[in-house]
Structure 1
Amino acid sequence: MSVLTLVPAASDPFDAAEADVRARYVSAYLTDNRAGDVIARDWTLYEIEMYDAANPGQPPLMDEIRSLDYPAAA
């Protein structure tokens, strides 16, 4: 089983905290998806949508979540 780890690129504590929040959302989505819990997965997706709406200056996390369902290019 592969594990994704998001590493903050900057040394700013705010950036590190934002990276941690984003990593937790990705982790929650993957956990819900693997468990087959569609209710928890949909709730996580809702929270991600709210996060994206509250942080318009950052790259959308929903785009990252959607890209998890695509196979990697060889």
Structure 2
Amino acid sequence: MSKAQDIEQALGLLREQIEDENLAAKDRQTAAKAVLSHYKESVNHYQGKGAKDQKKDSAVEAAERLKLVK
């Protein structure tokens, strides 16, 4: 193979790697948005009830979910 072919092959591999990383980042972003949405719903649900412990538990659960996604 010539140097030009080697370079073209390397660039193709880099493009594939970048596309894979972008897809993974989009997946993490989608998961984080779902966790945030769940947390917001939980906070709204418990906000008027004065259940601070329940809100805290919900926040901890959301944080744990986010850690699992990473």
Name the TM-score, length of structure 1 as normaliser.
0.41
Q: Which structure: larger Rg?
A: 2
Instruction: Please identify which structure carries the higher helix content.
Output: 2
Higher relative contact order by CA 8 Å / sep ≥ 6: 1 or 2? 2
